[in-house]
Amino acid sequence: MLIWASAATAAAIIAALIFVSYRRQISDICRRLEFLKNNKTNMRLTASLPFGELNRLIDGINEIIDISHSTDLETMRSEAELKEAITSLSHDIRTPLTSMDGYIQLLAQADNEEERRRYLSVILSRTESLKNMLEELFTYTKLQNESYVLPLEKTDFSACVFDAVFSFYNDFEEKGIEPEIDFTEKRLFINGNSGALRRILQNIIKNALEHGESRIVFSMYCEGGSAFFRCSNNFNGACRIDAGQVFKSFYKADPARTNSSTGLGLAIAKGLTEKTGGSISAEVKASLFSVTLRFSEL
C-alpha cells in the first residue's frame, strides 16, 4: 500500500510540475505575443518543453506571424507602387492639359484663320490623346475586377491580325518604317473575343510603334495546336527594358519619355489575353524586343 501511495504521490507531483511548467510556458508565449504585437521584429516563438502538441501550436503561431509579415510587406510595396503610379499618371495627364491650355490662349489671341485652324488642330489632337489615356484607365480598372467576364466564341484569329496590322499602315508610313511580315497562309481560328483580341493586337503594335527605332517584324503561325502572333521591334540600346516588368501597370522602360503613353498598354493586353484564355510573353534579345501572343487553335 505504501508503494502505491508513494507512486500516486510521485505521479501527482510530476503532473503538478508539468501543469505549472505548461502555465509558465503559456504565460511566456502570451508575453512574447504581446511584445510582437507592439514591436516590429523578426523574433519567433520557441518552446522549452518537449511536448509535440505545444511545439505544433508554436509552429502554427509562427506561420501566422510569417504570413502577417509577408502581408505587411506586400501592402507596403503596393502602397509605394500606387504612389508612384499616381505620380506618373498625374504627370501624363498634366502634360496634354498644360499643352491644351497654352494653345487655347494662343487660339484666343490668333489674328488670322490659318493660325486658328493650326492651334485648333493641336488642341483636338491633345484632347484625343487625353481621351485615349482615360479610356485606358477605365479598361485597366475593369480588368482588376475578378467578376469581369468576356464572352467567348469562335473567332477568326487570322482576320483580326490582318485588320490590326493594316490599320496602322499610315502610322508606319509617317514613321518611315516598312514592317517585315511573315504570316502563315493557313486560316487560324480560336475560342476568343474578337473585340478584345483587336484591342490586344492594337496595344502590342502601338507599343512597337512608340518605342521601335527603325524595324518592326510581324509573324503569325501555328505550332503544337496553338495560334501565335509575334511583334518584334528594335530599340535604342541606351533604353533598358526589363522583359519581366513590361506587363506591369504604369511600367515605362524610359521614364523620361514625354509621349502620351500611360504605361498601361501592355498591362491591358495581358489582362485581356488572360480573360480570354490566352497567354502573352515578352523577351529581349540584343536590341530586339518581342511580344508573343498565344491562343489554343480550334
Q: The domain spanning residue 108 has which CATH number?
A: 1.10.287.130
Which structural domain, as residue segments, surrounds residue 27? 2-72
Q: In terms of domains, do 204 and 280 share one?
A: yes
**12 belongs to a structural domain:** yes
Number of domains in the chain: 3
Which of 24, 47, 72 is where one domain is finished? 72
Task: Clarify whether residues 17 and 101 are in a common domain.
Answer: no
Residues 230 and 264 placed together within one structural domain of the fold: yes
Domain match, 104 and 7 both: no
Same domain, 229 and 117: no
Task: Give one word for 225, left, alpha or beta, with left for phi > 0 and alpha for psi -120 to 50.
Answer: left
Q: Which of 44, 72, 100 is the last residue of a domain?
A: 72
Which of 121, 143, 165 is the endpoint of a domain?
143
In a domain? residue 135: yes
Say yes or no: 8 and 58 in one domain: yes
The alpha helices in the chain, defined as continuous H runs, are: 2-38, 52-109, 113-143, 157-166, 169-175, 194-211, 265-275
Give the pLDDT confidence of 218-243 residue by residue, as tens digits: 999 999 999 999 999 887 665 677 67
Give CA angle at 122 (121, 127), nearest 5°.
100
Kindly state whether residues 137 and 258 are assigned to the same domain: no
Residue pLDDT, tens place only, 139-188: 777 777 778 788 899 999 999 999 989 888 888 888 888 889 999 989 99
pLDDT digits (tens, 9 = 90+) for 16-45: 777 777 777 778 778 877 777 777 777 777
